[in-house]
Amino acid sequence: MNLLPKTSSEFATEKYWNEFFEKRGKRSFEWYGEYWQLCGILHRYIKPADKLLVIGCGNSTLSADLYDSGYKSNVSIDISEVVIKRMNEKYNETRPQMTFQQMDASKMDFVDEKFCAVIDKGTVDALATDKEPETVSKLSAIFGEISRVLKVCGRFICVSLLQQHVMELLVEWFYSDLSWTWVVRVHRCEDAEQSSHDGSLALPVFVVVLTKMRKMPSINSVLELAISSESKPVRVNDLKTFYAEVSSHQQYAFMRHWLTSRKLKTSDNVCLDLFSHASDHPRYQLYVCDRPVSTAPLKFAIFVVPQGREAEWLFSSSEGRQQLAETCSTERLIVVHLSRNHTYEGLEQVKSELSQKVMDLAPPSCTGEKQVPFLSTGDDVGHREVRHRGSSKHTGDYVVEDVAVGNGIVVRRLIFLNRPNVVQSEARLKTVKSRKKAKKGAVKVDMRYLPCEYYKYVVASLSFIMPKATEEEASALLLGLGGGVLAGFLDSQFPKLKLSVVELDPAVVSVARDWYLPPSSSVDITVEDALVTIRHCANEGKTFDLVLVDVDSKDLAQGLTCPPGEFLEPYVLKNLSKMVSDSGVVVINFVCRNKSL
């Protein structure tokens, strides 16, 4: 399996491009690969009998290499008279059928539809210095001439680094051509990506193949990507996606160079996704973590998080991963999250798929190493079973999944996929005792178990109203249902407590009813905005012995996890105080990550 990387963080691309070109200097053609590195792609699109044109040939050996490989009918042009004279002197006797002509590629003398293929190696890159009108005009003239001299079904093969403005100029000209339909296909030529001996940045080399087709009203130009030698071309529907896909590989090259040349700061949050060809969902998500000061015996290690446990603090937060790196005694730790959208045969399969890719992320001190140790909490990749998928108009897509967390314990978790590393609700499962009607191995939520520490403090607040709720009837209002774990516990363990619940999201209510609360639950649930409920109760003089506010914030920009900021406004707090009886209590689950608040 060839995994395709995509970075989730934006690197300063202009900075890295500038660094690359400064170090490249005048050694232009070295960075586009030698013929033997490019021929695997070139030979797919040209035949020995084809008439070939090489533009901007310079002193490259490309034309001679093609000739020696059986492509005898090839013509090369360059605007420099000196270059053409030297090339003719060099090759006239040994390769008599190969010709070099002084010619401007924007004003070619050839007749229409003369060539089967036009080949360029770095010329477009050299000319496309910017997107100024003069540059655009020059390149448009060259592209127009290439289109003119190509036969129908002929190909323009352009070897390029595809810097953003180069890619846009090249692709958009042919994609928007009104005279012909073009199939625009981009290959990545990994064989040509050779880093210099000084360890400087090596960028992806791309081969853009543009095939000329007759214009038909019902057929638009086509965009295709064949980024890996193992993958078939994939159709792309729009230019934005096309550009983003190419750019992601360049950003990965920048990131790889950045990671292998320096030590990360604690504040650096570096993450990347690895994709397989078979899915649009990332197969692995990798987090890179360096210890600030390290005399660790291990220079580099990989920690594979068991399936379903990626939302735990130790694996989901940068602070937790720092602690994990210290526990593992390693200078740099790659924390690997596995995807719920993929299956894994075991830890050995994960090692096999990642062992080569992770070496791209090794620290500067890890030179010459061929292998890296893989660590985990056990000998397998854990167990995760997705029980239900759904979508909410308030929170988007979500999943309910059962996860083995070790020591024979299985928990049920509700995860909103817009915040995949946060557990919205968790409950412990227990096996149903064998009955005639019960399925073997059937499980249900253990309503006696409170998974969250703050739930215990919520329950402890009942002591303020006792003997109500234990020996006498009492009323409680819970604002925010979640998976229903707290509501289920209060309902099952305090039968004298009449519990009412208000939840904004009907999808969450369905999840609680179907996957958490027992069928016998007597919890009264109303679908309504909790702020509306507070206002109505305060205005109508409706009171409760206990009011619990357990509402999470959808906007985390201010660092307030729960409740939303509106619940802390003075008028809302005043209304809450009106809603409790004389000896009643208001309990608010307050979580804030911003110390300034």
What is the C-alpha separation between 435 and 438, in angstroms, rounded? Answer: 5
Structure-block tokens of residue 587: 């309990």
pLDDT tens digits, one per residue of 95-130: 988 999 999 999 999 999 999 999 999 899 989 988
- Among 124-138, 228-242, 357-371, top mean pLDDT goes to 124-138
Looking at residue 76, its pLDDT comes to 96
Q: Sort residue 518 into left (φ over 0), alpha (ψ -120 to 50) or beta.
A: beta
- Looking at residues 470-474, what average pLDDT do you find? 92
pLDDT band with cut points at 50, 70 and 90 for residue 527:
very high
- Looking at residues 62-68, what average pLDDT do you find? 95
Q: Would you call 558 exposed, middle or buried from its count of C-beta atoms within 10 A (0-12, 13-18, 19+)? A: middle
Looking at residue 118, its pLDDT comes to 98
Looking at residue 12, its pLDDT comes to 43
Looking at residue 5, its pLDDT comes to 63
Q: Which CATH architecture has domain 262-375?
A: 3-Layer(aba) Sandwich (3.40)
Which is nearest to 281 in space by CA: 386, 211, 191? Answer: 386
pLDDT tens digits, one per residue of 279-308: 889 999 999 999 887 677 888 999 999 999
DSSP 438-470: SPTT-EEE-TT---SHHHHHHHHGGGGTTTBTT
Residue 211 CA, distance from chain mean position: 31
Which is nearest to 313 in space by CA: 443, 426, 172, 442? Answer: 426
What is the C-alpha separation between 366 and 379, in angstroms, rounded? Answer: 26
Q: Would you call 143 exposed, middle or buried from its count of C-beta atoms within 10 A (0-12, 13-18, 19+)? A: buried
Query: Parallel, antiparallel, or unpaired for β 284-290 and 443-445?
Result: unpaired
Average pLDDT, the chain: 88
Name 7's bridge partners.
272
Confirm whether 262-375 and 453-592 share one CATH topology: yes
What is the C-alpha separation between 170 and 544, in angstroms, rounded? Answer: 69
The secondary structure of residue 70, as a DSSP letter, is T
Looking at residue 124, its pLDDT comes to 94
Q: What is the dihedral of CA 184, 189, 192, 196, to 10 degrees?
A: 100
Q: How many residues does the chain have?
A: 597
The secondary structure of residue 530, as a DSSP letter, is H
Q: What is the CA radius of gyration of the chain?
A: 32
In this predicted structure, the answer to whether residue 86 has a pLDDT above a threshold of 60 is: yes
In this predicted structure, the answer to whether residue 446 has a pLDDT above a threshold of 90 is: yes
Which is nearest to 98 in space by CA: 122, 76, 114? Answer: 76
Looking at residue 9, its pLDDT comes to 47
Which is nearest to 346 in space by CA: 321, 383, 397? Answer: 383
In this predicted structure, the answer to whether residue 587 has a pLDDT above a threshold of 50 is: yes
Residue boundaries of the structural domains of the chain:
8-236, 262-375, 384-445, 453-592
CATH class of 8-236: alpha beta
Asked if residues 203 and 33 have their Cβ atoms less than 8 Å apart, the reply is: no
In this predicted structure, the answer to whether residue 258 has a pLDDT above a threshold of 70 is: yes
- Looking at residues 133-148, what average pLDDT do you find? 96
Which is nearest to 76 in space by CA: 127, 119, 27, 132? Answer: 119
Q: Would you call 398 exposed, middle or buried from its count of C-beta atoms within 10 A (0-12, 13-18, 19+)? A: buried
In this predicted structure, the answer to whether residue 421 has a pLDDT above a threshold of 90 is: no
Asked if residues 546 and 461 have their Cβ atoms less than 8 Å apart, the reply is: yes
Q: Using the CB atoms, write b or e for 574-583: b if 16+ within 10 Å.
A: ebbeebbeee
Cross-sheet strand order for the sheet of 384-392: 384-392, 396-406, 409-416, 423-431, 443-445
SS3 state at 419:
coil
- Looking at residues 435-452, what average pLDDT do you find? 78
- Looking at residues 32-45, what average pLDDT do you find? 92
Residue 595 CA, distance from chain mean position: 30
The percent of residues above 70 in pLDDT, for the chain, comes to 90
pLDDT tens digits, one per residue of 6-34: 654 444 455 655 665 565 554 545 568 88
Q: Using the CB atoms, write b or e for 427-440: b if 16+ within 10 Å.
A: bbbeeeeeeeeeee
In this predicted structure, the answer to whether residue 198 has a pLDDT above a threshold of 70 is: no
In this predicted structure, the answer to whether residue 261 has a pLDDT above a threshold of 50 is: yes
Instruction: State the amino acid at position 533 in one-letter form.
Output: T
* Domain 453-592 homologous superfamily, CATH: Vaccinia Virus protein VP39 (3.40.50.150)
In this predicted structure, the answer to whether residue 343 has a pLDDT above a threshold of 50 is: yes
pLDDT tens digits, one per residue of 313-342: 899 988 899 999 999 999 999 999 999 999
Looking at residue 547, its pLDDT comes to 97
